[in-house]
Amino acid sequence: MTLEVPFGQILREIRQEQKISQEKLGFESGYHRTYIGLPERRKKNPSLTTIFNITNTLNIKASDLIERIEKRMNSQSSNPNFLKPYEEAFEG
């Protein structure tokens, strides 16, 4: 399992929990809306600067995002098939 999967899942979850569109998040954090979708779909690994810009815009600490990623990876690592639906949705 790679970090890109839970990172993208959790970024999308937080954004949707806050009812923020990719376009709004991109604008407010200084990125184009299409850029925000790239890490959500595992197409781009964001830099540390990007992670901090995005989390600041979402009013969360970067460490909280990382903690959620760690928890997701730890809870899901015992289930080797947990990524299957996510991976199938983005194949092609």
Does the domain at residues 4-89 carry the CATH identifier 1.10.260.40? yes
Which of the two residues, 31 and 92, has the higher pLDDT score?
31
**Alpha helices (H) in the chain, listed in sequence order:** 4-17, 22-29, 33-40, 48-57, 62-76, 84-89
pTM of the model: 0.78
pLDDT computed for residue 85 by the predictor:
54
Residue indicated by tokens 């781009």: 44
At 49-80, the pLDDT tens digits run 999 999 999 999 999 999 999 999 888 766 65
- CA nearest neighbour of 59 among 4, 21, 22, 14: 14
